[in-house]
């Protein structure tokens, strides 16, 4: 037994003592031997001698072989490696040195006039041969596309257009190519220039073949400087019902009327311009400015404003200061919080008035609270989830509905600004209320925000709230609108950064989400992946509908072809009239009836980053729905990335929606306009402007 054990131990010893050791010898740069992974080895680790310190072959410029030997895009004497080479005589045109000592450096030296570094573009208007190729202005091929050289000449030109003029055009020569907002690709057009000397209105009619064709009216951006055109209207004419067309005001300037094949005769009638009427609630002259917003109304009697403490009749109505009804709010007494009257005439009565927060009359409510956020002070950042599928309907907020509701309560310990951000499934209104001392939570409602559409987030800010007890009321607009969500509350000092207003409140040169004070907010985190069907930053928008994804690879190209391009939005608003009954495609908008309806697509670009305001004005008793959408990636439709959605409160009432964050410059951005339901029709005006 002992012998067997000894034999076994000996065998194990031999087994382990004979185990082979495997080693790996990495190449050693500088040993004079070219090994695996090395391109060269010259026996040292010094760069600059043809073999680098890492044993890679170094390339050097040979200064007289007309070849880019080192692959840096610079050949022979133009390469800095050759600046001191004896083969490079005369002026070297890109080294900042007066090589030939004649007092002229680089492109100022006559020897460099033909150098690639010094050849200039031809200025087509100055009578000089700027690029020194022997040809001046329009004789130079570089100027072939300049308007002064015939680069954008129309087929016909018509000047001195004033009210009372009529034009009969017979389109011919459809050979000028354009790609327009209502065409899928470049199309041949007949083109007529129309120069308006005085403001006119335009009505357009015509006869045409049975084949569909396109009509477009554009404005020349800079006549005689560029051929660029800004589209004012673009019509795909498929039937006689598409015409006539009219515009109330064309200011003086140069315009182009474009017609593709199919038009036989076009009749243009120019009448008296329709200027802004200052008291009807419409943008009569289609310049994007309504009533007193329009400069032409500055001195209109309806737009004069009474200054309530200067002893003058500023609005010329015969009443001065507090005797003028316009000064009723300014001159009203303080609010009494228990008399059922709006004493200070600010539209809020008793505990609904901010002035009554924390008073004895507006305290100790028995409102049922589902979530308590605690006592909040400057710097507090708290959040809570809600679920209205588990709660009953106990009240209706002013902008909510008969669906179930959820109450979140907190106390403010000092005067503060407040930012509330809510993400949701379903459709909930969000109201802020104060403790009213009554049974119903809604009795102290201070403000109410409607949902932008199904599943869309709400962000609200409240300035200069006094200390006191508050409720956040989450109210489903319908029973079917119940769902889940999260509410995030940030308490901000009155001199701290307010993360959604585009202002550097705390004077640290960092604005909104760029400020570290805001980075804990979910909507400042940024959407990290733009194609994963996940709301990565919990701001309520997914993938391409999140403004963080604008311009990303996943959200760039799109199959959307707008019906009209409104142009580039800068300081001046953009405006369009939309016939709700003649939409070109079927769409379902987030805040519509959830039925497929015919809709129209407008597009615009942004000259600079900013928040965008979209105002929708129904004409008559129409009920339009308006959404803002972004490009949603390869093959996507116009409505695939709806960001905001707005429906008018009731037929005939205007509505405005503003992006919660600044949108980057560029585009395109899409505005989708449809009737609320398939049976709706009528006309609506859409005005797009930068939010001041």
For 89-99, write each residue's pLDDT tens digit: 777 777 777 87
> Residue 386's pLDDT is what?
92
Residue 305 has pLDDT above 90, yes or no: no
User: Does the residue 102 lie in any domain?
Assistant: no
Percent of the chain residues past pLDDT 90, beyond the cut = 11
Q: Which two tokens stand for residue 601?
A: 């697509």
User: Does the residue 42 lie in any domain?
Assistant: no
Q: Which of 88-92, 258-262, 580-584 has the lowest mean pLDDT?
A: 88-92
Higher pLDDT, residue 597 or 233: 597
Range 141-157 average pLDDT: 82
CATH code for the domain in which residue 597 is found: 2.60.120.380
- pLDDT tier for residue 429 given thresholds of 50, 70 and 90: very high
Strands 229-237 and 213-220: antiparallel
> Residue 185's pLDDT is what?
67
Question: C-alpha dihedral over 472, 476, 477, 483, to 10 degrees?
Answer: 140
Domain that holds residue 173: 152-271
Say how far residue 230 (Cα) sits from the centre of its chain: 19
- pLDDT tier for residue 557 given thresholds of 50, 70 and 90: low
What is the tally of structural domains in the chain?
3
Q: Taking the model in full, what pTM does it have?
A: 0.49
User: Does the residue 210 lie in any domain?
Assistant: yes
- pLDDT tier for residue 455 given thresholds of 50, 70 and 90: confident
Same domain, 373 and 518: yes
Percent of the chain residues past pLDDT 70, beyond the cut = 88
- Exposed, middle or buried by CB within 10 Å (0-12, 13-18, 19+), for 637? middle
270: which strand partners?
Answer: 202
Residue finishing a domain among 508, 524, 540: 524
Residue finishing a domain among 244, 271, 298: 271
State the sign of the Cα–Cα–Cα–Cα dihedral 40, 42, 47, 50.
negative
User: Does the residue 300 lie in any domain?
Assistant: no
Question: C-alpha dihedral over 359, 360, 364, 366, to 10 degrees?
Answer: -90
- pLDDT tier for residue 560 given thresholds of 50, 70 and 90: confident
> Residue 182's pLDDT is what?
64
Same domain, 494 and 570: no
> Residue 628's pLDDT is what?
93
User: Does the residue 237 lie in any domain?
Assistant: yes
Residue finishing a domain among 271, 287, 313: 271
How far separated are the first and last CA of the chain, in Å rounded? 99
Residue 284 has pLDDT above 80, yes or no: no
> Residue 116's pLDDT is what?
65
Q: Which two tokens stand for residue 417?
A: 């600004």
Residue 646 has pLDDT above 70, yes or no: yes
In the DSSP assignment, the letter for residue 361 is G
Of 622, 685, 688, which is closest to residue 657 (Cα–Cα)? 688
In the DSSP assignment, the letter for residue 465 is E
- d(CA 225, CA 540) in angstroms, rounded, equals 46
Q: Taking CA 488 as the corner, what is the angle to CA 486 and CA 494, rounded to the nearest 5 degrees?
A: 165
> Residue 464's pLDDT is what?
85
User: Does the residue 353 lie in any domain?
Assistant: no
> Residue 181's pLDDT is what?
63
Range 509-531 average pLDDT: 73
For 93-140, write each residue's pLDDT tens digit: 777 778 777 888 877 787 776 676 676 677 787 888 777 677 888 888
> Residue 405's pLDDT is what?
92
Q: Which of 136-145, 531-540, 591-600 has the lowest mean pLDDT?
A: 531-540
Range 225-239 average pLDDT: 73
User: Does the residue 344 lie in any domain?
Assistant: no
* Helix/strand/coil for 655: strand
- pLDDT tier for residue 56 given thresholds of 50, 70 and 90: confident
CATH code for the domain in which residue 163 is found: 2.60.120.1090
Same domain, 642 and 500: no
> Residue 114's pLDDT is what?
67
């Amino acid at each position: 037994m002992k012998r067997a054990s000894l034999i076994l131990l000996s065998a194990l010893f031999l087994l382990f003592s004979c185990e082979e050791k495997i080693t790996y010898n990495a190449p050693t740069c500088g040993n004079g031997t070219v090994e695996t992974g090395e391109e060269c080895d010259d026996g040292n680790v010094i760069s600059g001698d043809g073999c680098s310190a890492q044993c890679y072959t170094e390339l050097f410029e040979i200064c007289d072989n007309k070849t880019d030997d080192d692959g840096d895009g610079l050949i022979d004497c133009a390469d800095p490696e050759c600046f001191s080479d004896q083969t490079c005589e005369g002026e070297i045109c890109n080294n900042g040195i007066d090589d030939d000592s004649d007092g002229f450096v680089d492109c100022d030296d006559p020897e460099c006039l033909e150098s690639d570094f010094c050849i200039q573009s031809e200025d087509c208007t100055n009578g000089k041969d700027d690029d020194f190729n022997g040809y001046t202005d329009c004789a130079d091929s570089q100027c072939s596309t300049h308007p002064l050289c015939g680069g954008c000449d129309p087929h016909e030109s018509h000047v001195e257009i004033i009210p009372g003029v009529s034009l009969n055009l017979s389109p011919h020569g459809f050979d000028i190519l354009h790609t327009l907002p209502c065409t899928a690709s470049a199309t041949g057009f007949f083109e007529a220039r129309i120069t308006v000397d005085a403001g006119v209105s335009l009505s357009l009619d015509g006869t045409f073949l049975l084949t569909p064709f396109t009509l477009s009216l554009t404005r020349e951006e800079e006549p005689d400087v560029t051929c660029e055109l800004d589209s004012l209207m673009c019509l795909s004419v498929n039937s006689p019902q598409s015409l006539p067309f009219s515009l109330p005001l064309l200011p003086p300037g140069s315009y182009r009327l474009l017609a593709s094949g199919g038009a036989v005769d076009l009749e243009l009638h120019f009448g008296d311009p329709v200027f802004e009427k200052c008291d009807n609630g419409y943008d009569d002259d289609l310049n994007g400015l309504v009533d007193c917003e329009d400069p032409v109304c500055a001195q209109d009697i309806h737009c004069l404003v009474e200054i309530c403490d200067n002893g003058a009749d500023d609005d010329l109505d015969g009443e001065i200061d507090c005797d003028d009804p316009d000064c009723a709010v300014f001159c009203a007494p303080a609010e009494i919080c228990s008399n059922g009257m709006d004493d200070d005439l600010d539209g809020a009565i008793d505990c609904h008035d901010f002035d009554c927060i924390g008073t004895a009359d507006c305290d100790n409510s028995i409102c049922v609270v589902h979530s308590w956020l605690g006592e909040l002070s400057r710097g507090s950042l708290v959040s809570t989830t809600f679920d209205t599928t588990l709660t009953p309907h106990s009240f209706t907020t002013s902008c909510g509905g008969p669906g179930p509701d959820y109450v979140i309560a907190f106390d403010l310990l000092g005067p503060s600004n407040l930012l509330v951000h809510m993400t949701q499934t379903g459709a909930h209104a969000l109201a802020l209320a104060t403790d009213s001392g009554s049974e119903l939570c809604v009795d102290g409602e201070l403000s109410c925000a409607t949902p932008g559409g199904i599943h869309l987030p709400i962000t609200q800010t409240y300035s200069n709230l006094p200390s006191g007890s508050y409720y956040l009321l989450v109210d489903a607009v319908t029973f079917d609108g119940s769902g889940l969500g999260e509410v995030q509350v940030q308490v901000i000092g009155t001199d701290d950064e307010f993360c959604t207003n585009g202002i550097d409140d705390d004077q640290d040169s960092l604005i909104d989400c760029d400020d570290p004070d805001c980075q804990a907010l979910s909507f400042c985190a940024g959407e990290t992946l733009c194609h994963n069907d996940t709301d990565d930053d919990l701001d309520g928008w997914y993938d391409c509908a999140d403004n963080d994804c604008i311009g990303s690879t996943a959200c760039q190209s799109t199959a959307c072809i707008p019906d009209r391009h409104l142009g580039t939005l800068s300081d001046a608003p953009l405006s369009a009239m939309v016939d709700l009954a003649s939409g070109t495609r079927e769409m379902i908008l987030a805040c519509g009836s959830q039925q497929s309806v015919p809709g129209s697509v407008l597009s615009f670009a942004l000259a600079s980053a900013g928040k965008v305001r979209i105002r929708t004005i129904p004409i008559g008793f129409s009920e339009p729905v308006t959404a803002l959408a972004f490009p949603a990636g390869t093959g996507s439709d116009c409505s695939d990335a709806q960001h905001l959605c707005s429906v008018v409160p009731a037929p005939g009432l205007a509505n405005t929606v503003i992006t919660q964050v600044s949108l980057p410059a560029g585009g395109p951005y899409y505005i989708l306009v449809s009737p609320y339901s398939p049976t709706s029709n009528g006309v609506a005006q859409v005005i797009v402007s930068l939010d001041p």
